[in-house]
Structure 1
């Protein structure tokens, strides 16, 4: 099939009109309409309902767009690879990390890394674990750091860290002097937890159930730094990841181990078809060294 047909179709779906698609593609409106007609003819389906100059996508068009977007992701990955080859080995690193590692952990390392690899560019994506998994599976990144579990394939998985989540307590709170905090301590206490859509949120809810305590979070978030700020301002008690905990140390917050321990399982995702890159290996070595240093600072 002619990729130009799909390009015209995608442009119409993204812009909403044939005229806007034509402007985006640098073609005339009749030319784009002809491309759509040819695509419908080859597929043998109706992609758009046409009324008074307007086009309305059919359900088939929506399904086709999903498939085309996957193809464009692969094409973008191919373009990135070609650019890397043209620029030379180690010229660029594409990585994706969860927010917990973005507020302090990774940024602190980049200055040191640049002193050793001054000509290496870094594209740093900060997003949730599910998106990192998608990018790793579609070979769009050199590596990703995301929380388990994963559903897709196409990448190698190695444990990066499994240090448990830790309770953050306002310094003046009655629980601030405890050696351990568990679900029973949080009954009738404003609790700041993880959103149920995250793996951490599901693990926290399971920990409460296993202790026979009703899970009743007053606040939920997808970002640890948000929970830490709330604790710092006396809003409640939060359960945060170890990287945020050690990176956001503040005298207004006490860090106390949580029991039962809930591991913060961060995995290293390495796409299977990405070429070897010495700069990537150097950056990962630097991350591992800093991880080991920071985790020793947490209370046990």
Structure 2
């Protein structure tokens, strides 16, 4: 017969107190209830555990042997409880994330900072990779979730749009174009530009826009990250078109940000492996990310 752990707990307390009444007081149960639990345990193990004498219970040799087993049981249960607590707090396993640089360099550190105030013992591993690598990490189940720019080529994960926004122009504060409210392709004619490498999807859209306007971009410097582009703009090396999350992370008196028209879509998605159920901690961290996202996009609007 499989007994509830409370029966073994009652037995352990009776062994320590020496009386049914004392055990009942400790457990917050009635004396008859504790007596029935002891009777059930004796019936289950098939041996007599106590001799009743003048209001006291005297444990038999079998009771002492059983106590050793019960105490080992409760040590194991305590270990399981401790394991559950560590898992809940993120001390074991923790959260693994992969994020593209636009979100991984400044945005996610702020998200993790907010998350850690609620979960100070949680372990977090943040891998900053280009979107194509983030896609691979999620598809091969190496992370709890990823943040990458659409579109995607692989399968094995579910997606939902995390941010649907547009790229904006970054201009040196002392440049004449800093006075414009909106930057258009014709403003960039003959201007030194800091552009993306051809591997970045937004580069291809930008090139199509400029070609449609009959302008050959003067892109003397190319890079893969908006953060690097902002740092170059601050140094007067040219103008750039960057994502709003990087712009939010790079406030500086030497740079101003303006809308760019026609719009270049900036769509970041949340990727989660198909075969892995989101953990409580991962869900909480995603919630912090969504809250900060709303703040960023409101600030940059």
Please report the TM-score for the alignment, with normalisation by the length of structure 1: 0.68
Counterpart position of 1:257: 259
- Alpha-carbon distance in structure 2 between the residues aligned to 1:283 and 1:203: 32
| Structure 2 unmatched ranges of 5 or more | 1-82
Asked whether 1:107 is paired with 2:109, we answer: yes
- Alpha-carbon distance in structure 2 between the residues aligned to 1:221 and 1:275: 36
Q: Is the 2:191–2:218 contact (alpha carbons within 8 Å) kept by the matching residues of 1?
A: no
Shift of 1:96: 0.4
Asked whether 1:166 is paired with 2:168, we answer: yes
Shift of 1:194: 1.0
Q: Is the 2:144–2:273 contact (alpha carbons within 8 Å) kept by the matching residues of 1?
A: yes
Deviates more, 1:275-284 or 1:198-207: 198-207
Shift of 1:138: 0.8
Shift of 1:88: 3.3
Q: Secondary structure at the match of 1:176?
A: helix
CA displacement, residues 192-219 of structure 1 (integer Å, 9 cap, x when unaligned): 1111111121221122233333244221
Q: Secondary structure at the match of 1:145?
A: strand
Asked whether 1:237 is paired with 2:239, we answer: yes
Q: Secondary structure at the match of 2:199?
A: coil
CA displacement, residues 23-43 of structure 1 (integer Å, 9 cap, x when unaligned): xxxxxxxxxxxxxxxxxxxxx
Counterpart position of 2:87: 88
Counterpart position of 1:281: 283
| Structure 1 unmatched ranges of 5 or more | 1-83
Q: Secondary structure at the match of 1:163?
A: strand
Q: Secondary structure at the match of 2:178?
A: coil
Q: Secondary structure at the match of 2:265?
A: coil
- Alpha-carbon distance in structure 1 between the residues aligned to 2:268 and 2:190: 31
| Aligned pairs (5 A) from 1:159-198 | 159-198=161-200
Runs of 4+ in 1 over 2 A off after TM superposition: 87-91, 209-216
Q: Secondary structure at the match of 1:265?
A: strand
| Aligned pairs (5 A) from 1:118-197 | 118-197=120-199
Shift of 1:227: 0.5
- Alpha-carbon distance in structure 2 between the residues aligned to 1:162 and 1:215: 26
Aligned length: 216
CA displacement, residues 216-259 of structure 1 (integer Å, 9 cap, x when unaligned): 42211101111101110111101111111011111111101000
- Alpha-carbon distance in structure 1 between the residues aligned to 2:217 and 2:257: 21
- Alpha-carbon distance in structure 2 between the residues aligned to 1:257 and 1:118: 39
Shift of 1:183: 1.6
- Alpha-carbon distance in structure 2 between the residues aligned to 1:127 and 1:276: 21
TM-align CA RMSD: 1.9
Counterpart position of 2:69: none
Q: Secondary structure at the match of 2:166?
A: coil
Shift of 1:114: 1.2
- Alpha-carbon distance in structure 2 between the residues aligned to 1:276 and 1:107: 20
Counterpart position of 1:48: none
